[in-house]
Amino acid sequence: MGSLWDEARDTWDRAVSSVDQHRDWSRPSLRARRLWLRRANVPIVVTGRPGAGKTALFEALTDRVSGLGYTTRVSADWERHRVLLRGEATSVRAAFLVVPGQDSPERTRSVARTFKNRAAPVGVIHVVCSGFNELWSGPADGALRDLDPAPTREGNERVRRYLLDLEVQDFAELGQLLREPAVRRRLRWLIIAVAKIDLVWDELGEVRDHYIPGGVSSPFHRVLDGLRSGERSLPPRIAIVPFSGHPEAHQYAPGLYRTPSRLDGNQATALRDNFYDVLGRML
Annotated domain spans of the chain: 2-282
User: With 50 as the cut, is the pLDDT of residue 37 above it?
Assistant: no
Per residue in 145-163, pLDDT (tens digit) is 889 999 999 999 999 999 9
CA nearest to 138, candidates 101, 98, 167: 101
Strands 42-48 and 123-128: parallel
Q: What is the mean pLDDT of the chain?
A: 84
- Please give the backbone phi and psi of residue 197, each rounded to the nearest 5 degrees, phi first: -65, -20
Whether the full predicted model's pTM is greater than 0.85, yes or no, is yes
Q: Is 9 exposed, middle or buried (0-12, 13-18, 19+ CB in 10 A)?
A: middle
Q: Is 239 exposed, middle or buried (0-12, 13-18, 19+ CB in 10 A)?
A: buried
Phi-psi region of 254 (alpha: psi -120 to 50; beta: other; left: phi over 0): beta
Beta carbons within 10 angstroms of residue 142's beta carbon: 11
Beta carbons within 10 angstroms of residue 200's beta carbon: 20
Per residue in 98-131, pLDDT (tens digit) is 888 666 666 667 677 778 777 789 999 999 999 9
Q: What is the pLDDT of residue 39?
A: 65
User: With 80 as the cut, is the pLDDT of residue 52 above it?
Assistant: yes
pLDDT class for 27, splitting at 50, 70, 90? low
Highest mean pLDDT among 46-55, 64-73, 92-101: 46-55
**Average of pLDDT values for 74-89?**
68
141 or 223, greater pLDDT: 223
User: With 70 as the cut, is the pLDDT of residue 137 above it?
Assistant: no
Cα(first)–Cα(last) distance of the chain, in Å? Answer: 23
Residues 70 and 124: beta-carbon distance below 8 Å: no
Instruction: Reply yes or no on domain 2-282 having CATH 3.40.50.300.
Output: yes
User: With 50 as the cut, is the pLDDT of residue 226 above it?
Assistant: yes
CA nearest to 97, candidates 105, 88, 106: 106
